[in-house]
Amino acid sequence: MAEVTKLTRDTYQPRASTPLIDAAVKTINAVEASLHTMPAAKVVICIQTDGQENSSTEHNWAELNALVKQKSGQGWQFNFMGVGIDAYDQGARMGIAPASTMAYDHRDPQAVRAAFAGSAESTRRFVVGEAPTTAYVPEEKAAAGDRFGNVVRKVKRELKKAIVDDINL
């Protein structure tokens, strides 16, 4: 850690390029590869971002969603924390349950601390056996400024236009 350059306005300049899918798939695969020495480990992956997917080139939503579902079926836990985006849409596209998704208010330092504290606490509850999953409790979402956690989301479906309007025989 002593060799890592400190982040400053000169050394850290976000450029609105978020390869969210590629990063998530690579992380999941790296964790899987590391498990050969700990086969009984409880696995928790928390994805946190301040941007939408907009630059992945190696993987796509369907691949990530299938991988999350596969690993979830093996007992892995997935949480998603998003700021400045529709975290619930992004989490759902990944295959992450709304209960394990949190949107937090990045403009409020207390809310940011609460979001990360809530993520740590949900992980702790799961690891020590107090909870069956790493789902956030409503109080954690509220403390993080998540205004969307209790909103019932409806799936938008586009009505397809008929290819043939009328058939006369």
Q: How far apart are CA 69 and CA 103, in angstroms?
A: 21
Check whether 161 has a pLDDT greater than 50: no
Question: Per-residue pLDDT tens for 114-138?
Answer: 999 999 999 999 999 999 999 999 9
Question: Per-residue pLDDT tens for 27-72?
Answer: 999 999 999 887 778 999 999 998 888 889 999 999 999 999 999 9
Chain mean pLDDT for the chain: 86
As a whole number, mean pLDDT of residues 4-30 equals 84
Query: Can you count the helices (H) and strands (E) in the chain?
Result: 5, 3
